[in-house]
Amino acid sequence: MQREIFSEEHEAFRDTVRSFIAKEVAPFHEQWEKDGVVSRDVWLAAGRQGLLGIDIDEEYGGGGETDYRYYVVMNEELARAGVHGPGFAVHNDINGGYLGRLATDEQKRRWLPGYCSGEIITAIAMTEPSAGSDLQGIKTTAVKDGDDYVLNGQKTFITNGILSDLVIVVAKTDPEAGHKGISLLVVERGMIGFERGRNLDKIGLHAQDTAELYFDNVRVPKENLLGEEGEGFIYLMQNLPRERVTIGVTSLAGAEKAFEETVEYCRNREAFGRAIGRFQHNRFTLAEMKTELTIARSFTDRCVSEHVENRLGTEEASMLKWWNTELCNRVIDRCLQLHGGYGYMTEYPIAKAYLDARIQTIFGGTTEIMKEIIGRSLDV
């Protein structure tokens, strides 16, 4: 059934995404999981299909469509298919917001055509070994020297870290100025002193490349400063709500899919001569999950609508991110339990979902940080 927040055009786009996943992603994802990284071919295929840079101006090869709901559709379908390898959300939902809004005309001409075609894969480097949610605590520095910034530091847990051709790096250009001394610099593949560390070994999301990045006296031309110097922290705060909506959308879609598969399992799996879904405890468990998911869907769609209208506040985005990610882990955990011993076998989708979902409450700001943001808004 078509949801109220979507038009016929959105649903037609959903069909396109599903076909793309079936042809270009699903047949190869198991191998990508073994490789620890997807093929660049899937990025080029996404570019040809018009799935990258949907909200980028057509003159740069984008879709010229400013409606965030197209990204919602894409992220929902990737989550429902359980194919988290291609880091399209970081590229589209997060980095597209920075490049589309902050890049100069010259930077747009340089970067956006490749960004939209899939020839240029992007990442954003915020987290450091000693600084995660506390962005003001980063130690990476960028010191002016002539026409360049000299960049030094280390980043970790960077999605698309291995494949990325452009990395938006959060760095301190004025270490004495606190949050007003943070800027965004775009580091390009091949810059001397820019090195990638290992592809990190995670408990889930095995096909998604997540890397350590090192910057040793990397000379970044001033032409690669994104936005204004010293405004980086403000830009991050402005874009983080969209990132958190995206994570909330993805989490809920994954939980809904796990629930649907578990209901079907409970219809067909028998114990003591009857389907396990006919046991009252199991029915009650399913009823609880169905109710929680239905409530979350209503709030999520409302938040998406408000975000599209530029009315969504930081507090509500934090609520959505906190609630949906915790709900996702809770639902998938209970679904795994209902699968019994088979739920512990990685050949079953519920086991993979269990491992892939665990990160949701951590990246994009932990649950604890979300509660802190909400709590501060209460003025108590």
Q: Which residues are catalytic?
A: 243
209 φ, ψ to 5°?
Answer: -70, 125
Other C-beta atoms lying within 10 Å of the C-beta of residue 48: 13
| Two tokens, residue 348 | 């079953």
Q: Please give the single-letter amino acid code of residue 27.
A: P
SS3 content of the chain, % helix, strand, coil (to 5): 55, 15, 25
Other C-beta atoms lying within 10 Å of the C-beta of residue 369: 17
β 148-159/182-188 pair status = unpaired
Alpha helical stretches, state H, 313-366: 314-338, 349-357
Cα(124)–Cα(107) distance, rounded to whole angstroms? Answer: 17
Q: Angle, nearest 10°, between helix axes 232-268 and 280-308?
A: 150
Cα(92)–Cα(98) distance, rounded to whole angstroms? Answer: 10
Going by C-alpha positions, the residue among 225, 148, 243, 221 that lies closest to residue 183 is: 225
Dihedral sign for Cα 360, 363, 369, 370, please: negative
Q: Using an 8 Å Cβ cutoff, are 97 and 239 in contact?
A: yes
DSSP 24: I
DSSP 3-state of 82:
coil
Going by C-alpha positions, the residue among 201, 39, 235, 212 that lies closest to residue 123 is: 212
DSSP of 222-254, one letter per residue?
GGGEESSTT-HHHHHHHHHHHHHHHHHHHHHHH
